[in-house]
Amino acid sequence: MRFSLSRRNFLKMLGFGSASTALSSCSSEPIDKIIPYLIPPEEAVPGIADWYATLCRECPSGCGLLAKIREGRPIKVEGNPHHPVNRGGLCMRGQASLQSLFNPDRIRTPMIKRESGDFQTISWKDAEKEILDILKTKIDQQKTGEIAVITPLIKGSLERLLKKWMDAFHIKNHLIYEPISYEDIKEANRIVFSKAEIPLYSIEKAEMILSFGADFLETWISPVEYSKAFGNMKRVDIKRQLIYIGQRMSLTAANADEWISLKPGTEKALILGLIHFILKEKLHSDLPFLELELIKGLVKDFSLDRVSSHTGVSQQTIERIGKEFSKANPGLALGGGIAVKGLYATDISVAVNLLNYICGNIGRTVRFGHEIGIGRVNPYRDMLRLIESIEQSRLKVLLLYNVNLMYNLPDSSGFQEAIKRIPHVISISQFMDDTAKEANLIIPSSMSFEEWGDYMPRKGVFGLQQPVIKPLFESRGFGDILLSLVRSIDEKQKGQIPWNNFHDYLKNSWKGIHKDLSPEIGFDHFWEGSLRRGGVFRAETDKEVKLSTKVSLDSKIDLKDKEDEKSSTLLLYPSIKYFDGRGANKPLLQEISDPLSKIAWDTYLEMNPETAVALKVVEGDFVSVESKDGRMELPVHIYEGIRKDVVAVPLGLGHIEYGRYAKQRGVNPINLLSKKTEEISGGVIWSPIFVKIERINKKKSLASTQGGRRQFGRGIAQALFFSIGKGILHLKTEKDIKKEIKEGKKRDMYKPHPYPEHKWGMVIDLNACIGCSACVAACYMENNIGIVGEREVIRGREMEWIRIEKYVENKGNGLDIRFVPMLCQHCENAPCEPVCPVYAAYHNPEGLNAQIYNRCVGTRYCSNNCPYKVRRFNWFSHSWPEPLNWQLNPDVTVREVGVMEKCTFCIQRIREKKEVAKEEGRRLRDGEIIPACAQTCPTEAIVFGDLKDPKSRVSKLWNSQRGYRVLEEINTKPSVVYLKKIKREI
């Protein structure tokens, strides 16, 4: 049993393995072993957490992480506050990243495919020999052109090493593949500013944002970074607005002040219409005459009335937006979201550029010279070329590193057949995914947590990735694999590539960075500093750009292709949970319900209620969706936030392989895509896809965590409205607040209990909360919350301690979707406490509503009596298949079947910090204790602290003018105050 062996080695080195997390409520003496350190590592004290800075590699944005290590295991990751990309925040996927490290379905050893088609374990030596044999023969035959290497976006040292390595083997073809790329933006920038790169968008600075299908709060380029920025933007001035233009109300749109739905494929017309209007009204910032004329020429036939009739957006709206946007100083128009990556993707991005240009946003909110990493990705066109050359058998060896082409490329691309034609497919992969399954040779590569590395999400940001745990299995880092391969070919290479392992190489290449960044200090000092900080970060200066004289775009009003009219338009979008599909094998991401659909564990087709009525389908009915290139059957989810003539499907599920959690779950909509690429940029044509939808005779109940869709006037998610002229309406005055407090006192029957030392409280700013559910993920990881699986979620038994409640309102700006993070409110008059017959629920002297798990007998009375329904019951004992259980937090017990559990305000963190403060003989500092949810929140919507300390942030926010407490009228006196959302009234 290789695995158990490797585990024992691991324990040997890192000791205290048997700090068993199994709840043992039996009082009899447990015979278990204590395994002490053989050689105690320096500074590591068992029972005390160490934090190491590293990187998150779950998506190309490259956020910085701090990994919490206990007894040698990473048990939690948090955003690295020093890292300029995420600045301490972290998204749902980042939080779940430890589940890819400890995933039970990782490839554990090198494997080779037998004739029979099944894989057989082989030793590393043999595996390397296999590869070398193939490469050597190619070299000997001078046919290294027949070799191609495909990797995901790798930057920094690894990339440089790969280059060297390929030279060593005379390999030319290297493709960088990312399923979701932005070649259209890049291309547009080349056209407009003759600068082929993806710029940096300063969302904080923008006074008004126009987003054309750019879901920058979910998946667009660098979601955490932009969410953070968005939060700050709102904080700077509550009245700053975001307007979202697209067919579907995405999470970003749901957080916008206004969602403008326009006919599919008419974005370009709208943007040009806006430009036309702005120029006509002379609202533009001053431009040289020639440029003005040039642009005028491009937009001449986009008069208001035509555009309006073509896009279905009213003239007033266009005028209003035009006026306000040009007034905004600066504004920011965003494009290039998947929703607009269609036949005219590049044109749209060009138009967006022009719009930004004439309003003088270039160089202010759109900043060049930062070379965002994702710009390096090869477009879809190149992949198609590759496939072509396979078909013409000009390609014999395919070396794949962590790319899941079988899944991410549409069937229409022909790759699925092509790959079978290749004699040698070598897959260096972490998981047995759809692609690895097709390989002849599988090499297990380490997770980012196990290997050295660095990553440059953009210029000036050198993220350093240090391993936080020894490889769990017989996996190796990609760099190490490359090095050892090179080492074992003939001597003269050795001169060029003298390093024994990637760590040495990395250090060496950082000598270079050291030289041009801070030569004044010694390297070791620099190196250690970088390790501690998680990298070196330097503010890059922007590069000036000017309008190219050769700006051009297809400036006819494009009418959507002549498809037969009864077909509707399909919109694909990357799921905030699974991104492009790589999240699907993490049980946590499957379990958390999507912020908008509130559905977990499945793919669904989003459909407008009216369309559904027309099709005679209801929630959960299956329909068949058929495009020119593919057909699939999936259940329907009714969603008001989508146009009648449009349906949408999230990406991410429908894997053939990829581990127990992803395997055979949901459908993969990518297979509906066509082989056609967008002419100019060569990107995938994501939309519009014209599909026929037919009802089929099959239904299922979707794993929805939502009961009622509306608030029925219960004021759970409250909002205020502002209008440009009048400012915010119905804002509380100081007098009202005083009055409230006074009346609050009157309502009590008994005199309030004293809180001698602390009184913990929380404030949640709904204006900042974007519903991204990162807090939910963080809570799961911090508190060992059980994953119950689809069947139980359907029965309403999900265990989430904090949930994002979604409510649909039809006030003010048409459809209005609101999010409320709902967690235990730690009421002062908690209804759950007195009904517990055994004191398992009680109120502690610091205002916490405590739950003592091993005292609980499971009457479930407290749950009935909790008006907020935040108590969760363990209907079964949950299991974490080895090694997932290694992630469990030793400071939090694992709850047994039949026990009630709930949010504790992360009592273990409070306890820890209090202990530290005691040891150091000082008082607790404000902000020292941060619960997992507050810590990870990308928009810093959650503030936690001590209400007894009048100077604490939370006390200051406590009596805010926007403050309210949910269900105030039943006088439970919650310790959580929500700040009302603020929306633009139109």
Partner 1 sequence: MKLFKKPLLIFLSGCVILFFGSGFLKSPYAPVQPIEFSHKIHAGNYELACLYCHSYANRSSYAGIPSVQRCMGCHKITAQNKPEVKKIHEYWNKKEPIPWVRVYKVPDFAYFTHRRHVNKGINCTTCHGEVEKMERIQKVSSLKMGWCVKCHKENQVSRDCITCHK
Partner 2 sequence: MRYSKDITYGKVNTDILKILEKPGKIYYFLLFIVLSVLSVGVFAWVYQIYSGIGVAGITHPVAWGIYITNFVFWVGIAHSGTLISAILYLFRVSWRNSIYRSAEAMTVFAIMTAGLFPIIHLGRSWYFYYLVPYPSQTMLWPNFRSPLIWDVFAVTTYFIISFIFLYMGLLPDIAAVRDKAKGFKKKIYSLISLGWSGTDREWRHHSSAYLFLAAMATPLVVSVHSVVSWDFAMSIVPGWHSTIFAPYFVAGAIHSGLAMVLTLLIPLRKVFKLEEYITQKHFENLAKIIIFTGLIVAYSYATEFFIAWYSNNIYEQEIYKYRVIGDYALYFWIMVIFNTIVPLLFFFKKMRTSTVSLLIISILINIGMWFERLVIIVTSLAHEYIPFSWGLYRPTWVEIAILAGGFAFFALLFLLFVKVLPAVSISEIKEQIEPPRKGES
Partner 3 sequence: MKRRASGVLGIFSHLDLVVKTIKRLKEEGHQDLRVSSPAPFHEIEEVLESRVSPVRFFALIGGILGALSGFALTIGTSISWPLITGGKPIISIPPFLIIVFELTILFGGVGTLIGVFLNARLPKISLDTTYDPRFSEDLFGVFVSCPKEKFHSIAEILKSSGAEEVRFEED
Q: Which does 518 bind (CB under 5 to 8 A by kind): partner 3, partner 1, partner 2, none?
A: none
Q: Which does 843 bind (CB under 5 to 8 A by kind): partner 1, partner 3, partner 2, none?
A: partner 3
Residue 973 beta carbon to partner 2: minimum distance, rounded to whole angstroms = 13
Considering only the stretches 434-442, 746-754, 794-802, 920-928, report the one whose residues sit in contact with partner 3 under the rule CB under 8 A: 746-754
Q: Which does 32 bind (CB under 5 to 8 A by kind): partner 2, partner 1, partner 3, none?
A: partner 1
CB 590 within 8 A of CB 791: no
For residue 535, CA distances in Å to 466, 538, 569 come to 10, 10, 45
Nearer to partner 3, 622 or 842 (CB): 842
State the Cα–Cα distance between residues 76 and 95, nearest whole angstrom.
8
Q: Which does 716 bind (CB under 5 to 8 A by kind): partner 3, partner 2, partner 1, none?
A: partner 2
Q: Which does 805 bind (CB under 5 to 8 A by kind): partner 2, partner 1, partner 3, none?
A: partner 2
Site string for partner 3, 337-366 (x = CB under 8 A): ------------------------------
Helix (H, G, I), strand (E, B) or coil at 453: strand
State the Cα–Cα distance between residues 264 and 168, nearest whole angstrom.
50
Q: What residue type is assigned to position 742 of the chain? A: K
How large is the angle between the packed helices 267-281 and 304-311, nearest 10 degrees? 160
State the Cα–Cα distance between residues 835 and 847, nearest whole angstrom.
18
Nearer to partner 3, 472 or 866 (CB): 866
Q: Is 871 in the site for partner 3 (CB under 8 A)?
A: no
- 698, 753, 860, 869: which one binds partner 3 (CB under 8 A): 753
Residue 915 beta carbon to partner 1: minimum distance, rounded to whole angstroms = 6
Residue 28 beta carbon to partner 1: minimum distance, rounded to whole angstroms = 10
Residue 596 beta carbon to partner 2: minimum distance, rounded to whole angstroms = 14
Residue 374 beta carbon to partner 3: minimum distance, rounded to whole angstroms = 54
For residue 452, CA distances in Å to 86, 138, 447 come to 20, 30, 10
Nearer to partner 1, 839 or 876 (CB): 839
State the Cα–Cα distance between residues 922 and 426, nearest whole angstrom.
59
Site string for partner 3, 813-852 (x = CB under 8 A): ---------------xxxxxxxxx--x-xxx---------
Nearer to partner 2, 500 or 701 (CB): 701
- 752, 882, 911, 916: which one binds partner 3 (CB under 8 A): 752
State the Cα–Cα distance between residues 133 and 786, nearest whole angstrom.
47
Nearer to partner 3, 302 or 760 (CB): 760
Q: Which does 750 bind (CB under 5 to 8 A by kind): partner 1, partner 2, partner 3, none?
A: partner 3
Residue (of 599, 537, 645) closest to 261 by Cα position = 645
Residue 797 beta carbon to partner 2: minimum distance, rounded to whole angstroms = 6
Token couple for 566: 């009864």
State the Cα–Cα distance between residues 696 and 638, nearest whole angstrom.
16
Residue with tokens 């013409």: 392
Written as one string, the DSSP assignment of 57-78 is -SSTT--EEEEEEETTEEEEEE
Nearer to partner 1, 7 or 695 (CB): 7
Q: Which does 753 bind (CB under 5 to 8 A by kind): partner 3, partner 1, partner 2, none?
A: partner 3
Q: Which does 808 bind (CB under 5 to 8 A by kind): partner 3, partner 2, partner 1, none?
A: none
CB 407 within 8 A of CB 581: yes
Nearer to partner 2, 747 or 855 (CB): 855
State the Cα–Cα distance between residues 145 and 138, nearest whole angstrom.
8
State the Cα–Cα distance between residues 936 and 774, nearest whole angstrom.
7
Phi, psi of 425, deg, nearest 5: -115, 115
Q: Which does 620 bind (CB under 5 to 8 A by kind): partner 2, partner 1, partner 3, none?
A: none
Q: Which does 35 bind (CB under 5 to 8 A by kind): partner 2, partner 1, partner 3, none?
A: partner 1
Nearer to partner 1, 24 or 723 (CB): 24
Token couple for 485: 């391969």
For residue 460, CA distances in Å to 75, 84, 463, 520 come to 30, 10, 9, 18
Residue 905 beta carbon to partner 3: minimum distance, rounded to whole angstroms = 17
Nearer to partner 3, 870 or 934 (CB): 870
Q: Which does 23 bind (CB under 5 to 8 A by kind): partner 3, partner 1, partner 2, none?
A: partner 1
Residue 832 beta carbon to partner 3: minimum distance, rounded to whole angstroms = 8
Q: Which does 810 bind (CB under 5 to 8 A by kind): partner 3, partner 1, partner 2, none?
A: none
User: Would you call 291 exposed, middle or buried from its count of C-beta atoms within 10 A (0-12, 13-18, 19+)?
Assistant: middle
Nearer to partner 3, 713 or 837 (CB): 837
Q: Which does 339 bind (CB under 5 to 8 A by kind): partner 3, partner 1, partner 2, none?
A: none
Residue 32 beta carbon to partner 3: minimum distance, rounded to whole angstroms = 32
* Four-point Cα dihedral 475, 476, 477, 478, nearest 10: -100
Count residues near partner 3 (CB under 8 A).
Answer: 18
Residue (of 780, 777, 879, 883) closest to 14 by Cα position = 883
Interface residue list for partner 1 (CB under 8 A)? 12, 15-16, 20-25, 27, 29-40, 45-48, 839, 842, 844-845, 848, 850, 852-855, 891-894, 904, 907-908, 911, 915, 918-919
156 torsion bin: left (phi>0), alpha (psi -120 to 50), beta (else): left
Nearer to partner 3, 420 or 753 (CB): 753
Token couple for 740: 């409230």
Nearer to partner 3, 290 or 838 (CB): 838
- Return all residues near 852 (Cβ < 8 A) that are at least 6 apart: 839, 840, 841, 842
Nearer to partner 3, 838 or 897 (CB): 838
State the Cα–Cα distance between residues 493 and 168, nearest whole angstrom.
6
Token couple for 129: 């020999």
State the Cα–Cα distance between residues 181 and 702, nearest whole angstrom.
31
State the Cα–Cα distance between residues 579 and 179, nearest whole angstrom.
10
Residue 75 beta carbon to partner 1: minimum distance, rounded to whole angstroms = 14
Q: Which does 33 bind (CB under 5 to 8 A by kind): partner 2, partner 3, partner 1, none?
A: partner 1
Residue 896 beta carbon to partner 2: minimum distance, rounded to whole angstroms = 7
Nearer to partner 2, 700 or 956 (CB): 700
Residue 825 beta carbon to partner 3: minimum distance, rounded to whole angstroms = 13
- Return all residues near 700 (Cβ < 8 A) that are at least 6 apart: 620, 622, 635
For residue 713, CA distances in Å to 710, 808, 919, 984 come to 8, 11, 50, 20
Nearer to partner 3, 837 or 921 (CB): 837
Q: Which does 500 bind (CB under 5 to 8 A by kind): partner 3, partner 2, partner 1, none?
A: none
Interface residue list for partner 2 (CB under 8 A)? 706-714, 716, 792, 795-798, 803, 805-807, 822, 831, 834-839, 855-861, 863-865, 867-869, 872-877, 896-900, 967, 970
Q: Which does 828 bind (CB under 5 to 8 A by kind): partner 2, partner 1, partner 3, none?
A: partner 3
Q: Name residues contacting partner 3, limited to 943-982 (CB under 8 A).
A: 973
CB 923 within 8 A of CB 917: yes
State the Cα–Cα distance between residues 915 and 288, nearest whole angstrom.
66
Contacts made by residues 729-735, CB under 8 angstroms, sequence distance 24+: 729/985, 731/961, 731/962, 732/961, 732/962, 732/963, 733/961, 734/961
Chain residues that interact with partner 3, rule: CB under 8 A: 748, 750, 752-753, 828-836, 839, 841-843, 973
